[in-house]
Structure 1
């Protein structure tokens, strides 16, 4: 008989992902803002491209780590492996999915140690004039409500004031058509990316008869490095040609349009469906 566990273990996974999200969220907005404020204008695009590239290379190592962990039995260390008669190629095999969290968590803690030695506050940089901005863009930035906010690093954060300014700031953002369009484009791009990362390994398993470990290995060695190379190349091109805001928008539009047309070739590719009794073939 099967004994049902009285503890919902999925809650621990949910809490772990919540904590991970809390730690990961500030990296993109604060890190990119820091680079844009403190780096020279002609180098900011390259630095941001490097940050985005590293952010994509991380999942590549994650897939490789997942491939190694998937070859280990889920209860490794608790059961005698000589008594396990199934192999990773067996559909009943469950890999040590939890081991990757422990390894990645330990590496994250170690990598966070150098941040403790950074200064408590950084000097406020002098106002820089960006020659790549047109007079209209410069006037738009100067007239922005955000420029009227005086930063006082020595004062402690006032939560009441932060919540009071949150609604007007959100209203200004939602009323900015450029920001809304960029947000919609980002949502569409991440929908396609998440769909590929989530379901492509399973597709490789089912249609090409590969194990979970090999599917993760292929994802980490082929797809992710290509995305990382594209991000780094974009940063190099923007630095070399010193693209302004309008030039960067045209460059992004052209590359996105080219990627869309290249994606149409996927419609002509495919393989035969796996023979499953009662679904793709009859029982007789």
Structure 2
């Protein structure tokens, strides 16, 4: 049996389905579909030089890798490598081949620092460390049973506060972009603060993304100004995930993000979604506390591993 690594062919449906199947099998808390993958390949920001890779064994897709440059961070050229192999097809050398191909590609683009998300399990961590990566920050995946769980009741809104779906801003999403940019800049990350400065790129890669659900994304406004939000992503079936939840600096400490997220979750359940997922840096105590209040339970942890290239 021979394992080979190649670039994905987005025009081949079997490639898209194989990549999504591997990712869902290895990381069931991550929402991805063949169509969302095809959109990413076609619309990822050109500066990211995004290149998804497949590991194939005798015609069967058994591994996947997301590979590209972190073009929104201000530090010297950084690349990302996220490798996952189907749990039933490990120990065949697929992960090693994927890492090697990804590193060669990114080094050729001038990357001097590589970052990889690794599930917090002994075998995965040992693999990363054997390839020269050092552990950094960590993040919890969390799951909420929307079908059988109990959500907190909807609360009365404070004076001057209004909740609206993002779809109401379809004619002019720029205020939502500015809110997203401010909250993203304050998010803790091993890669450094991300700078969302490209409005057109944000429209293409976030606002119009096929997983982005504008009807279930909730914006909290204070006296008509967008102040907090929770971004909803859905797979078109039963799975809902939070892309981002945040509050503008001037409005923090008022519980606005909690109001927005509670509204979105209630509407997601009413729309027939049965599972909700989210993720938070393990040091983000405020959001972890909010999600615990909603009923989310930690289901896995990822560690951000870093390798400095000589």
Report the TM-score when normalising by structure 1.
0.24
Judging by fraction of residues, say which structure has more strand. Answer: 2
Q: Which has the higher Rg, Structure 1 or Structure 2?
A: 1
Pick 1 or 2: higher relative contact order, CA cutoff 8 A, min separation 6. 1
Report the TM-score when normalising by structure 2.
0.22
